[in-house]
Structure 1
Amino acid sequence: MSKAIYAPPRTALFLPASNERAIEKAKELKADMVILDLEDAVKAEDKERAREAVRAVEGFGDRPFGVRVNAKDSDHWKADLKAVKKSRATHVIVPKVETPDTITHAALYADRPVLAMIETAAGVMNVGPIASATGWGVEVAGLIVGTNDLAASLKLPAAAGRAQMALSLQLVVLAARARELWVLDGVFNRLDDPDGLAAECAEGRLLGFDGKSLIHPNQIDIARASFDPTEAELDDARTLVAAFTGGAERHKDAMIEEMHVDRAKALLARAGG
């Protein structure tokens, strides 16, 4: 399968692959990426029907379309990967990745770029080698933090929050940036807390995440707005690029150089100019 080049998604919406109505509705949603889930969101008795649905989906326009398979130690692992290979999915999402060989196997059987979910303490400790996985036909497209499972793996108390996972989150971002991969933040569980979602998205952007994984269509607009640069940021970037003449120089009471210009141009490119 030819592998198109996609911009890092600001919003990646998880949907149960067994929910035909939700899949049809997703064709009209504004999520940058749709991920059909064969793992946690699908009951054991519905797994095969969900795989059939994955094979039948024609796609979601020109957006990337991923499928999250069951974990490597699951009885569904190979059947899920074969379903992905026979589908029109652009990516395979692999949960609970802890070693590079999981990436190698997934890429081999699914013949798709891999988005590796980092959801355990072992995954965080090995995130560098995971991001650097290589082999014939192996392509790591990015990393996704699974914050719910990660909190459990770290044995954090129920009252713990993002601050207690800060080091783990930063290590995942570092590994992704070292390999120029996508990196997506974990889901936000509270569906009736838009202010909390906006705050967590803003924090994720400050940490360096490209976007956020989502679990409900109502979260799309908030997350997308949070990861889009503001008009003030765009104006500052345009002004900086226009003012730069080379070398190190003063601009608005700060010293700028080529690195600052490159960052400003990347911001403008992501926003479409």
Structure 2
Amino acid sequence: MPKKPDQLRARDIDRADVCAVLDAALTDGQLAADEHATRSARAMRAETFAALDRLVEDLQLTDEFAAATPALGIDRTPRRWLIPVLAILTAGVVGAVAGLIGRAAADEALPDLTTADGLAYFLAEYRAEFGTTILDEATVYPGYVSFEREGVSGKQDSYVYRGDFDTSGTPTARPSGTPALDLAAIDLARFAPLVAGAPQTTKVPHGRVTYLAIGFAPGAKADAEPVITVYVRNDDGESGRLELALDGEPRAIRPPTS
């Protein structure tokens, strides 16, 4: 017998969508930090649509992006949660942060993967593919992600993600003690306004984020802390970068160079 919509099993991408709604509610003051953390943790453990709906049903969203109450009919297509575009003010910089909107079909365009919603999308896809959020390092471009992760028999595998996960080249030897990082440790709520405002923060006129480097400094020890380096560049060749810890704490700001 077909299941009612609220009994349908949730996917990782559905959980990520709800986490994005919760992030929006934290940003506009509907949720306090502790309640946001509690609901986000429950969202990532939720097994059904009903469990996810309960986490967002009391939140205010615009009519266009409202999280509608599930219908009771058995023919309903599983819905997705959508959130409005947010304007976030941080450190004197206004950053426009697009909400996480999942693809309805595999051939639709990916979100900009260098944004917070894009990283959340990639994180959900990565978890669904590998059953973990651990990798060695990643370089994130607007349209794709290149990354390395531990393989079998002491090897390191390279991949490129463009909506699908494709291996890149042949596995190489993975040095003993190579540190790995957990993508789930990235504080996307703090990362969102920082990356959106990176061109202004780095003082690159008319700059744009060209890519992110997520990983460790060369030769880093196992107990080293990974960083996210946000690279900014403009059409005149001026560039700068912003270095962040995974929790969003700024570590360094590099001024423009040509």
Above 0.5 in TM-score? no
* TM-score in terms of structure 1 length: 0.28
Flag the structure with higher helix content.
1
Flag the structure with higher strand content.
2
* TM-score in terms of structure 2 length: 0.29
